[in-house]
Amino acid sequence: MVLGLSACGGSDDGGGEESNPTLTLGVIFPPTSMSPADSSWANESPYMQAVYDTLVHIAPDGELQPWLATEWSYDDSRTVLTMKLRTDVTFTDGTPFTADVAAQNVLRFRDGTSVNASFLANVSDATAVDDETLQITLSQPDPALVLYLGQNAGLQASPEGFGAADEKTNPIGSGPYVLDTEETVVGSTYVYDKNPDYWAPDSQHYDELVINVLDSLTTQVNAIQGEQVDGVPLADPSANEQVEASGFEVTSHELDWEGLLLFDRQGQVNPALADVRVRQAIAHSIDRAAILQAAYGGAGTVTGQIFGEGSPAYDASLDEAYPYDPEQATELLAEAGYADGFTLQMPLIQVGSTTVFDLLAQYLGDVGITVDYVPTPLADAIPDVTGAKYAASWFRLQQDPTPWQTANFSISEAATWNVFHVQDATVDQLLATMQTADEAAADEAAQQLNQYVVEQAWFVPFYRLEAFFATSPATDVELQDDNAYPYLENITPAA
C-alpha cells in the first residue's frame, strides 16, 4: 500500500488557503466504478468527490447550496427544473463545462448502472437551453431531485471520457484532485494529486490525497496504531477505547439503520416470504436489544421502522413494533402453513465480526427457520444483493432526512433497495400524495406509508446505529448529517 502521513506544517502554494502535504483516508469499500454513470455514494463518496464536482452542494447540516449550479427554480407544475450554471469551469482535460455537458451527465446517470440510478427515474429529458442554462424535465414531480444532484446523480465528468475503454478507472472531472493512475493500485490504494487549476481553491486542503481500502476493524486499528491514516470510519465501536488510546479522536452520530430487508414479497425466489404472517414471524423472532448489545456494545437505539427521528414520517410508537416473542412467531408460521419451518438463503457479508449473523441464525432457527448463509466478499455485497440474488438479506442503510428520499431509496417500485421492484397499490397512492400535496398532507401520507410498511413487515429493522469516525491529532472533521462518510471538503488540517 501507498501510505502517506499528514504533516502539521503547511506551505502556501499561492492559491486558496494554506496547504498541507498529504491526507490519508481509510474507506471500507473500493469504488464500484470511477465513472459517474455507474458510481455508488455513501461510503464510496470520497473517491468521487476527489475528482468530480456536483451540480449542487450539500452542507453538513443538509442545506442545499449553489455549486456548479448557481441558482435553480421550478415551473408551476414542478416538472421542469431550470438551473443556471457556472461559466468559468474547465475539466482537467481542457474541455469546458457547459449546460450541454451537464445534460449529458444527467441522462447518462439515469440510464447507467449505478445502484442509485432510480434517483433519476422521473427524469424524462435534460437539455441545454444555452451554454449556461440546464433544463431538466420530469414525468412527475420529484421532491428530492435537487438534493440528488448534490450526490452521485449530479457528478459531472468530461464528455471526452464517455465510452472510453478506461472510463471506469481513469476519471476526468473538474474537481479538486486528479487521480494518479500510475501510483494507484485498483482495489487497494488510490492516489490523487491536487488540481492546480481548480476553480474553488478554498476547498483544497491538501497537496495529495491517498485513499486506502481498510475493510475490517482489524486493518483500521492497525493503520491507526501505525500512524498510517488520518481519518477512517470504524466498522464497529468495540475498539473505540483502543483507538482513543492511540491519540485519535472518535466522533459519532446516529445515521444508519441495520436489520433485515425482506425483498421477495411476491415469493419469486422463496414462496414463504409472500405471506405477510411469515414476514411478521421473522420480525417477532429476533431479540434486537440483545444483538445491539452483543455486536455493538449497545451503541444505538432499538427500532422497528426505517424512518429516522428527524423525518416527518417517524412514529415513536413504531420503535416498539414486533417485540421479541418467539412463541408468537411460531404461531404465525403455523397459521401460514409453515409449522415445520423452511429454509431461508441469505448472504453472509464478510465485514468483520460475524456476531450479528450468528445471532440472527440462532433466533430464526429457534422458531424453525433454517438460515443458509452464502459467504459474500464485501466487494460483491452490493451488486449481489441489489441484483435480486437473494430473497432477504442483512444490510445497513442510511436514514434519509426526508420521507420521499427514503421511499425512493427503499420502498417505491423503482427503488434501489426494492430489488424485486415489487409494486403495491397502497404505496403508489401514498407516494402520489407525497409528491404533489402540500406539506401537511404530504407528511400525513408519509406517516401512513411508514405504518403500512411496518404492518406489512417489508423490513425488519433491528436498531439505529451510531456511526463512528476516527481522526488523527493533525486532522479535524465535520460529519455529514445525511451520509455515511464525511464529505471530503470537511476533512481539514487541525486548527
| Domain containing residue 83: CATH number | 3.40.190.10
Q: How many domains does the chain have?
A: 2
- State yes or no: pLDDT of 460 exceeds 70: yes
My answer on whether 68 and 210 are in the same domain is yes
Residues 209 and 271 in one domain: no
Confidence check: pLDDT of 4 > 60: no
Per-residue pLDDT band for 11 (boundaries 50, 70, 90) equals very low
Closest CA to 282 of 181, 398, 365: 365
Q: Are residues 178 and 77 in the same domain?
A: yes
Checking if the pLDDT of 16 tops 50, the result is no
Q: Residue 50 above 80 pLDDT?
A: yes
Mean pLDDT, the chain, whole residue set: 93
Q: 78: pLDDT confidence band, cut at 50, 70 and 90? A: very high
Largest CA distance in the chain: 74
Question: What percent of the chain is modeled with pLDDT above 90?
Answer: 86
Would you state the pLDDT for residue 254?
Answer: 84
Mean pLDDT on 107-118: 95
Are 284 and 353 in a shared domain? yes
The whole-number pLDDT of residue 176 equals 98
Q: Say whether both 124 and 190 belong to one domain.
A: yes
Residue 237, domain member (yes or no): no
Of 4-8, 75-79, 331-335, 411-415, the poorest mean pLDDT is in: 4-8
Q: What is the pLDDT of residue 178?
A: 98
Q: Are residues 199 and 284 in the same domain?
A: no
Say if residue 116's pLDDT is above 60: yes
Please tell me the predicted confidence (pLDDT) of residue 19.
56
Residues 208 and 186 in one domain: yes
Whether the pLDDT of residue 277 is over 90: the answer is: yes
Q: What is the pLDDT of residue 17?
A: 47
Residue 3 lies in a domain: no
Between 268-272, 362-366, 379-383, the lowest mean confidence (pLDDT) is in 379-383
Position 398 confidence tier, pLDDT thresholds 50, 70, 90: confident
Q: Does 240 map to a domain?
A: no
Same domain, 38 and 152: yes
Residue 10 lies in a domain: no
Q: What is the pLDDT of residue 9?
A: 31
Which residues are within 8 A (CB) of 186 and not within 5 positions of it... i.e. 6 or more apart?
30, 169
Confidence of residue 123 (pLDDT cuts 50, 70, 90): very high
**What is the average per-residue pLDDT within 286-303?**
95
CA distances from 495 to 177, 227, 473 (A): 22, 19, 10
CATH number where 435 lies: 3.10.105.10
293 backbone dihedrals φ, ψ, rounded to 5°: -70, -45
Statement: residue 276 has pLDDT above 80? yes
Answer yes or no: is 362 within a domain: yes
Residues 166 and 48 in one domain: yes
196 with 280, same domain? no
Which pLDDT score is estimated for 15?
A: 41
pLDDT higher than 60, residue 28: yes
Residue 371 predicted with pLDDT over 90 = yes
The pLDDT of residue 1: 23
Does residue 250 lie within any of the structural domains? no
| 171 within domain boundaries | yes
Mean pLDDT calculated for residue range 194-216: 96
- The C-alpha cell 428527524 sits at 310
In a domain, 242, yes or no: no
- The verdict on 396 and 478 lying in the same domain is no
**Is the domain of 60 the same as that of 206?**
yes
Domain of residue 158: give its range: 20-232+472-493
Return the higher-pLDDT residue of 272 and 4.
272
pLDDT (mean) for 68-81: 97
Residue 379's pLDDT is: 81
pLDDT in tens, 421-454: 999 999 999 999 999 899 999 999 999 999 999 9
pLDDT at 233: 95
Residue 53 has pLDDT above 60, yes or no: yes
